[in-house]
Each structure stands twice: as structure tokens, then as C-alpha cells.
Amino acid sequence: MTFHATSIAHSKAMKTKILWLQGLTCNGNTHAFLNYTLMERFLEDFTFVHHPAVESDYTLEEVCSRYIETDILIIEGAIAEDFERAGYPLIEVIKRYAPKVSAIVTAGTCATFGGIFKESPYPQSSGFLFCEDKRVTRFEAFEKKVISVSGCPVHPDLLVETLYMIREEMQISLDDYRRPKAFFAWNIHNGCTRNEYFEYKVDNHRFGEKEGCMFYDHGCQGPYTHGSCNKILWNGVNSKTRSGEPCHGCTEPAFPRRNFYSTKKNMGIPQYLPFDVPRRAYLTLSGVTKAFKIARLEKRLFDA
């Protein structure tokens, strides 16, 4: 599937107008966005009709009480039926803007899939668009306007680059969850600096170390999590797996899972195998790999 914004209502010489609305959220996506390293350049091309933490043109009460011209609507946080902003039902505010904006962007996993709020006491707080089995939960009428940029929190570079693609009216290829394939076509395992340890089944036994893989014993979700964390580093510096922390699968609909730091196994074999790897092939490869002992991989990279 694809997305193609063809109705940005102004010339490229003008700033693209963004309305950022929050549902049930911890503000993590807002804080991640504020860490975007080229914010000054971004603000030369975009302006905020309203943002909860950035200087804006209008107050929350003004944008909720009436329609104000907007190009892109960004949703942060899960949506609950009885949730209000400035005294107005958030769902009704979204429905007022959705038919008129060029694009709707779900910023973060709570807005896309519900995130941790799937277990909240709020009724039907199951995300903005999707639930775990890919069924549309609400807002079917404008589903085709939605682009999902999942993550807990959202990666600021992925969010900003998506906004630029919309501004430039590019055709954007999307996956089944309406995430840009430019960022979500591969998984976190691609680009991981620990791949050789993974191949030879050398596990890491202490968090923070540079050696070893965290898939076999420490719950790393990298082999079956779509995202670009090991290709587009956070703040251009690091990622979870590079720093010695297992990937938690935060871009996926099942996030958050229980027992983050453990790998469930059946007779020593991980219950969930990497994408598209048949169990028989995995068992064969495991048997061959265990016959190898690579001394170089058993040593510390930096001796004390």
C-alpha cells in the first residue's frame, strides 16, 4: 500500500502547519521529538498550530473548540472513548480535523497500537488505528490518510523524515500497519553489531557489555521487530543493542510484553524464531553452529 499527499494547501515557500494532539500518554514522544538534533532547520519549514510543549500559534482550547487550518495532524498517545482535552471529547476533535488535513501521523506505539494503555482502566484505549490482529479499531473513514510511526518513544529522525516526505508530497510505501517501509521494511537485527555473536550462539551474560548476543537468554526482540534503530542511531550515537541492552520490540503491536529480560524456550530452543526461519532449518543450523568454538568471540573486546 502507498500514501501520497497531494493536497498540501500552500507553496513550499510557506511553512507546513502541524497540529499535535495528545491522548493518553506519558509525553515520551514529545520529549523524544524535542531531542531532534536539527530542530532549528525543522522549524524553518514547519510551524505548530498547537503543540503541548512548543511555542504555538493557538491554545489547546482554541484548537479543540473550532477548526483551525492545518496541514498535518499528529496524534500522540492512546485514545479512550471518554477522554477529553480542554473540556472537549478528543475523538470528536480528531473527527473535526481528519477530513480536512492532508495527513494524520500516529507518533509512537500508544497512538498506533495502544501500547501500555491497552491494559489501562479506560474503556477501549486500544490505540488510534490498529489492534494486534491488524483490524481497524476506529476512524475507518479516514484510514487512508494515516501514516504510523511506531516506537516507545518514537524515533525523532523517523518522525521528522516522515513529515518531510509528506511536505514534499512524496509517494510513501507503507507496510500492513501503515508504517513507512523506508524505516520499517527491515528489523532491528539488521545492522546490529552483535550479529556474529548471534550466528555462533555466544550469549551476553551482563548488561552493558560490548560482547555477546542477548537473544538467547535475555529476551532481545531484535530478530522480529521492525525498525531502524541500528541503522539510524538515536541522536546519531547509539541504540539499545549497541549499548548492551536487549531490544524490547517497542515498534510492534504486541508491545509491551511481560518478562522483558527473559527468552522463553522449549527444550532449549527459543519459542519464537526470527522472521521467516523454519524451525527445522533453525534446529539444523543450531546443531552445526554448536560444533564451532570461536576463541575470538569468547574473549572480551577490551581487556581490563
Across the chain, mean pLDDT equals 87
Percent of the chain topping pLDDT 90: 57
pLDDT band at 121 (very low <50, low <70, confident <90, very high): low
User: Is residue 2's pLDDT more than 90?
Assistant: no
Q: Quote the CA–CA distance of 212 and 195 in Å, as a whole number.
A: 9
Tell me which CATH homologous superfamily contains domain 2-182: NADH:ubiquinone oxidoreductase-like, 20kDa subunit (3.40.50.700)
Q: How many CB atoms lie within 10 A of CB 146?
A: 24
pLDDT band at 264 (very low <50, low <70, confident <90, very high): confident
The CA-to-CA distance between both ends of the chain, in Å, stands at 52
Helix, strand, coil percentages, rounded to 5, for the chain: 30, 15, 55
On whether the CB atoms of residues 51 and 75 are closer than 8 A, the answer is no
Calculate mean pLDDT across residues 256-261: 86
- pLDDT over threshold 80, residue 10: no
- Residue 191, CA distances (Å) to 176, 241, 249, 260, 298 in order: 23, 10, 16, 22, 21
pLDDT tens figures, 132-179 = 555 555 667 788 899 999 999 999 999 999 999 999 999 999 998 999
The structural domains of the chain, with segments of one domain joined by +, span 2-182, 186-299
Phi and psi dihedrals of 66, rounded to 5? -155, 170
User: Of 263, 275, 59, 297, nearest to 193 (Cα)?
Assistant: 297
Instruction: Decide if domain 186-299 falls under CATH 2.70.98.40.
Output: no
